[in-house]
């Protein structure tokens, strides 16, 4: 690895508590600790993750957009790139990716290498117009990173002109923060943790139906604490209403608690028995990686990259995300496990995290990519 220190500009919509935001903060800090200079550009409100960056003296530039897709973001970003003498620009998420490519490549600015990163996945229903436009613009990007092999393969299949520049870099975590608890929780009945926004592709209804099966079939009534943003408009509100109506119909309201957004994720993982994640639409799920890092067993849908993360009956359990009865079976099976077996499952998950999910490995992978682009 070269000893040259570079100056990078990271572009993202905001610094809220989303998975992409947390990963960008981890990477910015990791590269800063290695002597590189990193600055952040944001264009919408949300600063809950700003403090760790400020603690490391990483500048944050705020230029709030005026409309849904605002050209002033492009001009503000272009001005910053030009005045800041950055060696490379990295962006996370589709719309920031579009802004970054347009600012750095199309506005008569001396071209600056741009790496874009996809943090989601193509849903079975296909991709929308914005994603299609983005992939045409990615022709101008120097690297296209996905945080899952599943999405990298999607990109290569749907956009073969990007094939040679696509690669996968898994998420990375501070394993001194996300670490095992001193003792295993032993709740009766078990306490289930779910961490996700509420939307159809997060598949919360599968867990609701599984709870009803456990109650009716097995007489088991685990509690569920759901952490995540509750969006009160559009199809997400419709899905939230459907979940609440179904909970009420099955008389499960006392078993289900909406906790909204929280910052005490490690404590929540330590005090719950298992993480259940029924999602079928995302890149690499931060919450699953964080649970494994904390030695918390995971019951996970058997799709996307999930089979790479959880080894069935070793570090957790996999279930058919289209079959609530299968999820109920796996929850019941976990419920019957002795504490010693649950602990062993969690320890194996922690070992996987140490090998594959560290912040150091994340920083290595991106640093190697950036240096290869800048020194070719």
> Which domain CATH number covers 289?
3.40.50.2000
Output the six-digit token pair for 204: 């919360």
Output the six-digit token pair for 313: 């009956």
**Rg for the chain, CA atoms, rounded:** 21
CA distances from 1 to 33, 116, 364 (A): 15, 22, 10
Does one domain contain both 14 and 157? yes
Does one domain contain both 69 and 130? yes
Average pLDDT, the chain: 94
Does one domain contain both 35 and 122? yes
pLDDT in the model for residue 13: 97
Separation CA 144–CA 168 (nearest Å): 9
Residue (of 294, 328, 300, 304) closest to 313 by Cα position: 300
Does one domain contain both 248 and 344? yes
Does one domain contain both 12 and 109? yes
The answer to the question of residue 339 being in a domain is: yes
H-assigned helices in the chain: 19-33, 50-55, 71-84, 94-105, 129-137, 149-158, 204-213, 234-249, 265-271, 286-293, 306-309, 324-336, 339-356, 359-374
Does one domain contain both 149 and 221? no
Does one domain contain both 341 and 365? no
Where residue 63 falls (left for φ over 0; alpha for ψ -120 to 50; beta otherwise) is beta
Quote the pTM value. Answer: 0.91
Give the 3-state secondary structure of residue 143.
strand
Does one domain contain both 226 and 289? yes
The answer to the question of residue 126 being in a domain is: yes
Does one domain contain both 166 and 307? no
pLDDT 10s digits, 161-211? 999 999 999 999 999 999 999 998 989 999 999 999 999 999 999 999 999
The answer to the question of residue 46 being in a domain is: yes
The answer to the question of residue 294 being in a domain is: yes
Q: Which structural domain range is residue 118 located in?
A: 7-172+359-374
Does one domain contain both 156 and 273? no
The answer to the question of residue 178 being in a domain is: no
pLDDT in the model for residue 3: 56
Does one domain contain both 98 and 210? no
The DSSP code sequence of 220-271 is: ---EEEEES----SHHHHHHHHHHHHHHHHTT-GGGEEEEES-S-HHHHHHH
Does one domain contain both 238 and 347? yes
pLDDT in the model for residue 262: 86
Share of the chain above pLDDT 70, in %: 98
The answer to the question of residue 184 being in a domain is: no
pLDDT 10s digits, 342-376? 999 999 999 999 999 999 999 999 999 999 999 97
Say if residues 95 and 13 touch (Cβ distance below 8 Å): yes
Q: How many structural domains are present in the chain?
A: 2
pLDDT in the model for residue 18: 82
The answer to the question of residue 186 being in a domain is: no
pLDDT-based confidence at residue 107 (cuts at 50, 70, 90): low
Output the six-digit token pair for 170: 């898994």
First CA to last CA distance, the chain: 13
The answer to the question of residue 182 being in a domain is: no
Query: Residue 1: is its pLDDT beyond 50?
Result: no
């Amino acid at each position: 690895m070269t000893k040259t220190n570079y100056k990078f500009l990271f572009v993202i919509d905001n610094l809220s508590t989303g998975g992409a935001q947390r990963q960008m903060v981890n990477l910015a800090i990791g590269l800063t600790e290695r002597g590189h200079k990193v600055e952040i550009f944001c264009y919408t409100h949300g600063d809950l993750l700003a403090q760790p960056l400020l603690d490391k003296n990483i500048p944050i530039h705020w230029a709030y957009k005026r409309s849904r897709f605002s050209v002033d973001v492009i001009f503000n970003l272009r001005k910053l790139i030009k005045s800041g003498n950055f060696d490379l620009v990295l962006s996370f998420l589709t719309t920031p990716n579009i802004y970054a490519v347009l600012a750095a490549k199309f506005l008569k600015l001396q071209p600056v290498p741009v790496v874009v990163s996809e943090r989601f996945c193509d849903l079975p229903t296909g991709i929308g117009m914005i994603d299609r436009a983005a992939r045409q613009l990615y022709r101008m990007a120097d690297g296209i990173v996905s945080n899952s092999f599943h999405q990298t393969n999607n990109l290569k299949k749907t956009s073969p002109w990007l094939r040679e520049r696509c690669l996968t870099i898994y998420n990375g975590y501070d394993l001194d923060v996300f670490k095992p608890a001193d003792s295993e929780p032993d709740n009766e009945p078990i306490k289930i943790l779910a961490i996700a926004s509420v939307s159809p592709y997060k598949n919360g209804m599968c867990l609701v139906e599984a709870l009803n099966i456990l109650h009716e079939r097995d007489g088991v009534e685990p509690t569920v604490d759901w952490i995540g943003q509750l969006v009160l408009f559009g199809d997400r509100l419709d899905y939230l209403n459907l979940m609440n109506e179904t909970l009420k119909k099955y008389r499960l309201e006392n078993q289900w608690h909406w906790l909204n957004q929280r910052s005490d994720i490690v404590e929540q993982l330590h005090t719950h028995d298992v993480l259940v994640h029924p999602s079928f639409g995302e890149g690499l799920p931060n919450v699953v990686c964080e649970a494994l890092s904390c030695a918390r067993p995971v019951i996970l849908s058997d799709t996307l990259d999930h089979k790479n993360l959880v080894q069935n009956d070793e570090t957790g359990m996999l279930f058919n995300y289209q079959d609530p009865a299968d999820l109920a079976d796996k929850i019941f099976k976990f419920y019957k496990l002795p504490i010693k077996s649950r602990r062993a499952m969690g320890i194996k998950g922690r070992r996987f995290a140490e090998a594959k999910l560290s912040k150091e490995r994340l920083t290595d992978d991106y640093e190697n990519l950036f240096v290869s682009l800048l020194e070719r």
